[in-house]
């Protein structure tokens, strides 16, 4: 559905310097993109109208109309506001970045281009745009709420974007049907959407929660279910939202379901969620290595918390995908780290 190969994505490169433009065009053409060019702000606006690109690589400094102005105009226009704009700035130009954010830019790249970075960023932004196009209005609202929640919670960082990618990869590894893989991916964004109803005093509290606060925190799965329930297309995602904190032995919440009573996708999602929390750095803990994380998950499984057969599969999956660095997994890592930067864009990310 969102596969890049269905149709060659089109990228507009805007730069007043022919040599910079040619470098970008060359790099992107090698990657198989359809590339169009513009040498000025007004020419860029005309090209956008004429060719409707999937992404715009926009130089900041141009005589006449600069990149910020071009971006502002595109973001004001209903037809072009969802087209991702990547600003091209000089290295470490903080001011330029701030102005770029104000103008509505979606991401930044610095010159000279790093091929791997350029390729990973472009790929993920185009995926994001295509996902957006496939969503209807109500779904977009839910995804925006989820992004807002993630940006409120300083612990999560790029958590959701990694969950989406791993959800896809592990779902495919398990041979799940496509609609279920999609539900797992959507679960990556939406599982904690109910935190929108959790007060800052609890959600952002440093240190241990009291038992009352913990009760409030646990409401997030019920609030999330209530938010997503009314939408037909969320049918497969709602069980993930409600049940992602159940445990195999019945000691989880909200329903204390036991073993196979826990919806299968919620079990799968939970393992991915926990693995990601373990392998990420948090203010109160370091990032564990994949090997250490798998060990902790195995210990939790022997305590009775997880589905043992599923954990075996997950261990195989991680060994196959994340513990033998190959060229393609390097690229995937780069991709992971910037995937859906927008999730958190409004606060801590560039």
CA distances from 193 to 208, 222, 230, 231, 309 (A): 22, 10, 14, 14, 29
Question: Are the beta carbons of 231 and 143 closer than 8 angstroms?
Answer: no
Residue of minimal Cβ distance to ligand SIN: 245
- Under the binding rule (CB under 6 A), the answer on residue 146 touching ligand SIN is no
Identify which of residues 21 and 220 has a Cβ nearer to ligand SIN in the complex: 220
Rounded Cα gap, residues 124 and 230, in angstroms = 30
| Contacts (CB under 5 A) with Fe ion, residues 213-272 | none
Residue holding tokens 């970075």?
117
**Among positions 192, 225, 276, 322, the unique one binding Fe ion when judged by CB under 5 A:** 192
Q: Which of ligand SIN, Fe ion, none does residue 27 bind to, with CB < 5 to 8 Å depending on kind?
A: none
Distance of closest approach, residue 332 Cβ to ligand SIN, in angstroms: 25
* 75 touches, from Fe ion, ligand SIN, none (C-beta below 5 to 8 Å by class): none
State in angstroms the smallest separation of the CB of 249 from Fe ion: 19
Q: 139 vs 192, which CB is nearer to ligand SIN?
A: 192
The site that binds Fe ion (CB under 5 A) totals a number of residues, namely 1
x/- map, 62-101, ligand SIN, by CB under 6 A:
----------------------------------------
Binding mask 239-258 for ligand SIN (x = CB under 6 A): ------x-------------
Cross-sheet strand order for the sheet of 34-38: 34-38, 10-14, 55-59, 85-89, 107-110
Q: Whole-angstrom Cα distance, residue 240 to residue 251?
A: 17
Site map (CB under 5 A) of Fe ion, residues 144-183, x = contact: ----------------------------------------
Give the whole-angstrom CA distance, residue 331 versus residue 328. 5
Plot region of 26 (φ>0 → left; ψ -120 to 50 → alpha; else → beta): alpha
Q: Segment contacting Fe ion (CB under 5 A): 116-124, 156-164, 190-198, 336-344?
A: 190-198
Pick one of 15, 158, 192, 335: the residue that binds ligand SIN (CB under 6 A).
Answer: 192
Site for ligand SIN in 195-234 (CB under 6 A): 217, 220
Q: Which is nearer to ligand SIN, 54 or 192 (CB)?
A: 192
Could you tell which of ligand SIN, Fe ion, none binds residue 217, using a CB distance below 5 to 8 A set by kind? ligand SIN
Nearer to ligand SIN, 123 or 220 (CB): 220
Number of residues in contact with ligand SIN under rule CB under 6 A: 4
Radius of gyration of the chain (CA): 22
- Binding residues for Fe ion, per CB under 5 A? 192
- Binding residues for ligand SIN, per CB under 6 A? 192, 217, 220, 245
């Amino acid at each position: 559905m969102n596969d890049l190969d269905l149709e060659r994505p089109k990228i507009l490169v805007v730069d007043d310097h022919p040599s910079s433009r040619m470098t970008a065009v060359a790099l992107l053409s090698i990657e198989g993109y359809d590339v169009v060019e513009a040498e000025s702000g007004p020419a860029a606006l005309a090209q956008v109208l004429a060719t409707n690109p999937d992404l715009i690589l926009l130089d900041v400094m141009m005589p006449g109309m600069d990149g910020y102005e071009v971006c502002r105009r595109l973001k004001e226009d209903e037809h072009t506001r969802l087209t991702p704009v990547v600003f091209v700035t000089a290295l470490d130009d903080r001011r330029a970045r701030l102005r770029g954010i104000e103008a509505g830019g979606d991401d930044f790249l610095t010159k000279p281009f790093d091929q791997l970075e350029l390729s990973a960023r472009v790929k993920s932004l185009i995926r994001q745009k295509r996902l957006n196009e496939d969503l209807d209005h109500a779904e977009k609202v839910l995804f925006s709420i989820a992004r807002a929640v993630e940006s409120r919670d300083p612990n999560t960082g790029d958590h959701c974007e990694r969950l989406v990618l791993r959800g896809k990869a592990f779902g495919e590894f398990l041979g799940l049907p496509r609609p279920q893989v999609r539900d797992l991916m959507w679960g990556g964004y939406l599982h904690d959407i109910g935190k929108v109803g959790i007060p800052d005093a609890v959600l952002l509290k440093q240190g241990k929660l009291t038992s009352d606060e913990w009760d409030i925190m646990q409401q997030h799965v019920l609030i999330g279910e209530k938010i997503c329930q009314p939408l037909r297309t969320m049918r497969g995602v709602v069980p993930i939202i409600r049940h992602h904190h159940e445990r195999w032995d019945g000691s989880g919440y909200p329903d204390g379901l036991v073993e196979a009573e826990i919806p299968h996708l919620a079990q799968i999602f939970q393992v991915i969620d926990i693995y990601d929390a373990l392998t990420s750095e948090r203010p109160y803990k370091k990032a564990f290595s994949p090997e250490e994380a798998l060990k902790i998950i195995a210990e939790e499984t022997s305590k009775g918390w997880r589905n043992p057969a599923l954990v075996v599969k997950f261990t195989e999956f991680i060994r196959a995908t994340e513990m033998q660095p190959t060229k393609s997994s390097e690229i995937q890592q780069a991709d992971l780290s910037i995937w859906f930067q927008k999730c958190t864009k409004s606060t801590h990310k560039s």
